[in-house]
Structure 1
Amino acid sequence: MDEQRTPFWGGPPWARGGGPPPPLRRWDARRSTGRVPWPSTIALAVFAMVGSTFAAHGQPDREPLDAFAYVLLLAGPAILLLRNRRPVASVFGVCAIALVYIGAGYPYGPVFLTVAVGAFAAVISGHRRAAWWAVGGLGAGHLLIAHWLYEYLPPGHDDAAPWGEELVVLAWVVAVLAASELVRVRREVWAREGAERAAAEKRRADEERLRIARELHDVLAHSISVINVQAGVGLALLDTNPEQARTALTTIKAASKEALGEVRQVLDTLRTPGDAPRAPAPGLDRLPELVEQAAGAGLSVEIGTEGERAALSPGTDLAAFRIVQEALTNVVRHSGSRTARVRIVYAPGRLGLRIDDDGPAARSDAGGSGNGLVGMRERAAALGGTIDAGPRPDGGFRVLADLPVQPKETM
């Protein structure tokens, strides 16, 4: 289940609840590569030179290619060397060169390919308006040259271009810009999907760290509480009653061994992903061990069951065990009562837990982080259940838990 929780150990401010996540940065060719695109630009220059030479043979009515024409054909690709770092200047530059080339009466041909490349680079880098203005200016200039200025520009004795030719030019412009827009949109979608995948991976990692932290807290809080109580007993009786002090030390040894085993099991989840746990997670079937540990800390626990026992999912079984464990730990730490009652209620599709002690609240400092009730509520909420904890009207403290028999992600 993917619960969206804020990691408590730090991270960027937006991950700690300090504001919305940063906006997605649009794809930019200047950030995608800082290198000058030499290979593609050289290939484009060669193609423009050779292609224009062949095109000139099919357009005898246009001006023949001369040194100035070849300078223009090379100038376009040269400007395109800057298309990743200066896409706006690049697209306006190649459009201006193409307009001079056409105004000089040279043959139509690959000169427009440099315009297409420049417009493409500008659009996908996010400078859509600049690309449209540059290509639109080239189209307007061609229209002006082909229908009004042709009498004053080479080649001599030229006639106005047919209007059908302008439709071809317009279709070419629209096709180039539409293809550029399509690529830009696709790149933005890919960037957004990549950011979402990265955020999901981070969220899953945060949730896994939170789960491990919660497990470690529950394991250590209970065991250390038992050890703390028994250490106090042992110190108090070391001189007057060595046998009872020995019993306390034996309980400390057993509790510490149990804690080490459970900590090792929790930390096993940090091994190679996909490895199965070396031992099954604890569940309600281990309540007798919990009662025995509580007895070692001087707490008598009564367990009662209502309803027909149902099979629990591993997640619910573990959560129920940890909730009872944490509730008993809190009794040992914070209550003067030496008796606790645990009631387990099986209902259709639900599991109820009630843990009571008669109080009063202890005034001594038993340690603890204060995260016990928070951890219980998080466990219940993760499964779609609830926790209600607070003082009883007649004194003491009560914890009520309502959990689904099957977690909501598998229901």
Structure 2
Amino acid sequence: MPLSPRDETPVGTRTPPWTDREGPRGTRWFPVVVVALLQLPGLLIAFFDAAGHPLTAVAMLIAFLSSGLLALGRAHPGPVVVAIAVLCVPAIALTNGPPLSALPLAFAVVGAVVRGARVWAWWTLAAFAVAAPLAAFLLTSRPTSIIRPLILALVLVLLLGVGEALRNRRERFREVSRTLAARREAAAEAERLRIARELHDVLAHSLSQISVQAGVGLHLFDTRPEKARESLEAIKTTSGQALEEVRGVLGFLRSDGYADRSPEPDVSRIPVLVETYRRAGLEVTYENTLPHGASAATGHALYRIVQESLTNAGRHAQAQHVDIRIAEVDGWYVLTIADDGRGRPDDAVTEGKGMLGMRERAELLGGRFGTRATDGGGLTVEARLPARPAEAA
């Protein structure tokens, strides 16, 4: 049974929500709020001292306001990191306290790298490493003032590495998500095909039998009413069996896990199937020389292939006799079904849903399926299934 999306959600590979372009709308304001709260004390101190250092107070105000641009970083990460770097340089150059003015730039650099604007981030940081020390020297005229901007530039380089790690993590998450989505889709498609094959086999066989028995009943209704009654009873039995099998197939579609599921027919049910066609007037010989019972999957495939072949022989090929043999040869279960019907049209096999379904059943178990003309007319169907499907290559 395929895993549900909840069961297959990758764990431990998510990046911070504020770095996602597609994240919740409220998360875009997370870095803005964090940076503003951290910068606010320094801004208040600068304004209290504005009389002595007005330029510093203005520069810190500009750096404080630049944090608002982080809200646009999700949609425009490259331009945002450039704009914030330009706005933060004066405050970084003029202040000597804790480097809180660089916080907007730190968030912008990490966000730009994670969101794919790596070139913007690297070139902006390179320009910052030159412009910030130069601005500090020009604005303060102290040679030692360049040390602090250079240290900040080094810290931002380390943050670039953090951004690269987050970006790689994000890419892994997306790749895992795509892989799991493909697996779920493939599993769902395989399940749809399986259900389609089951429904086709059940309904095609049952409706074919009902049609034949109804024709016999109508033909004998006036002359041999007891035989007509037998045909009606056969129709009742066949329709009941078909309804039971359809319920079993559709039970797999229920999600509560409490559907009543009848056991899938296997090799042990083939004699009952053969007897049904014999009562309908088709001469069928059946020989099973398997030394032991087949596995559930293999037995079910053998049953369905026999069922579809008998339906084709009696309804489409208008055969009078069908010979069915099952044997084990060199680790393979070999199923051979030969009829004396009309055989291949124009010596070419045209695979309808029935033939295609039989081929798919064999190949899903690692086996092979083929048809060939029977000597003297008719068609021979041969399926080779591995005796141990789990070990088949």
TM normalised by structure 2 equals 0.84
Distance between the aligned counterparts of 2:112 and 2:153, measured in 1? 19
How much has 1:128 moved relative to structure 2? 1.3
Show the 5 A alignment for 1:312-327: 312-327=294-309
Matched, 1:359 2:341: yes
- Report 1:257-406 matches (<5 A): 257-272=240-255, 278-306=261-289, 308-361=290-343, 370-406=352-388
Aligned residue in 2 for 1:174: 157
**Aligned residue runs from structure 1 range 190-201, under 5 A:** 190-201=173-184
Q: Quick check: 194-203 or 220-229, which moved more?
A: 194-203
Q: Does 1:158 align with 2:149?
A: no
Tell me how far apart the structure 2 counterparts of residues 210 and 273 of structure 1 sit (CA, whole Å): 21
1:360–1:45 CA distance, 2 compared to 1 (3 A):
closer
Among 81, 85, 88, the alignment partner of 2:75 is 85
The within-5 A match list for 1:28-177 is 29-35=20-26, 37-51=28-42, 66-103=56-93, 105-107=94-96, 109-145=99-135, 150=137, 153-155=138-140, 157-159=141-143, 161=145, 168-177=151-160
Greater mean alpha carbon deviation, residues 296-305 or residues 354-363: 354-363
Counterparts in 2 of 1:141 and 1:245: CA distance versus 1, 3 Å: same
Q: Which amino acid aligns with 1:243?
A: E
Aligned CA distance change for structure 1 residues 277 and 409 (closer, same or farther; 3 Å): farther
Partner of 1:11: none
Aligned length: 369
The alignment partner of 1:72 has SS state of helix
The structure with higher relative contact order (CA 8 Å, sep 6+) is 1
Percent of aligned positions that are identical: 37
How much has 1:278 moved relative to structure 2? 3.4
- In 2, the alpha carbon distance for the partners of 1:266 and 1:251 equals 22
For 2:338, what is the secondary structure of its paired residue?
Answer: strand
Is the 2:336–2:380 contact (alpha carbons within 8 Å) kept by the matching residues of 1? yes
2-structure distance, mates of 1:115, 1:355: 77
Aligned residue runs from structure 1 range 204-243, under 5 A: 204-243=187-226
Amino acid at match of 2:59: A
Give the superposition deviation at 1:184.
0.9
Query: Kindly tell me: are residues 119 and 202 of structure 1, through their superposed partners in 2, closer, same or farther at Cα, counting changes over 3 Å?
Result: same
Given residue 69 of structure 2, which amino acid in structure 1 is its aligned partner? Answer: I
Q: C-alpha offsets along residues 307-361 of structure 1, whole Å, 9 cap, x if unaligned?
A: x512321100100111111111111112232211101112342211000111235
The structure-2 alpha-carbon separation of the partners of 1:95 and 1:292, relative to structure 1 and needing over 3 Å to count, comes to same
Alpha-carbon distance change, 37 to 362 in structure 1, aligned in 2, over 3 angstroms: closer
Report the residue type matching 2:319 in the other structure: S
For residues 241 and 119 of structure 1, the distance between their equivalents in structure 2, rounded to whole angstroms, comes to 93
Residue of structure 2 aligned with 1:184, choices 138, 148, 167: 167
Structure with more of its chain in helix, by fraction: 2
Tell me the SS of whatever aligns to 1:399: strand
SS at match of 2:139: coil
Shift of residue 277 of structure 1? 5.9
Return the letter of the residue paired with 1:305.
N
The structural deviation recorded for 1:175 is 0.5
Contact 1:29-1:85 at 8 Å conserved across structures: no
Aligned with 2:383: secondary structure? strand
What is the alpha-carbon distance in structure 2 between the residues aligned to residue 295 and residue 159 of structure 1?
106
Say which SS state the counterpart of residue 37 (structure 1) adopts: helix
Q: Tell me if structure 1 keeps the 8 A contact 2:313–2:319.
A: yes
Q: Is the 8 A contact 1:120 1:177 kept in 2?
A: yes
Counterpart residue identity of residue 46, structure 1: L
Partner AA of 2:228 in structure 1 = A
Q: How far off its partner does 1:291 sit? A: 1.1
Q: Tell me by how many angstroms 1:64 deviates.
A: 7.2
- The code of the aligned residue for 2:222 comes to D
In structure 1, list runs of 5 or more residues that go unmatched: 3-26, 57-61, 364-368
Report SS of the residue matched to 1:81. Answer: helix
Q: Is the 8 A contact 1:99 1:141 kept in 2?
A: yes
State the Cα distance separating 1:404 from its structure 2 match.
0.8
| Contact 1:334-1:361 within 8 A present in 2 as well | no
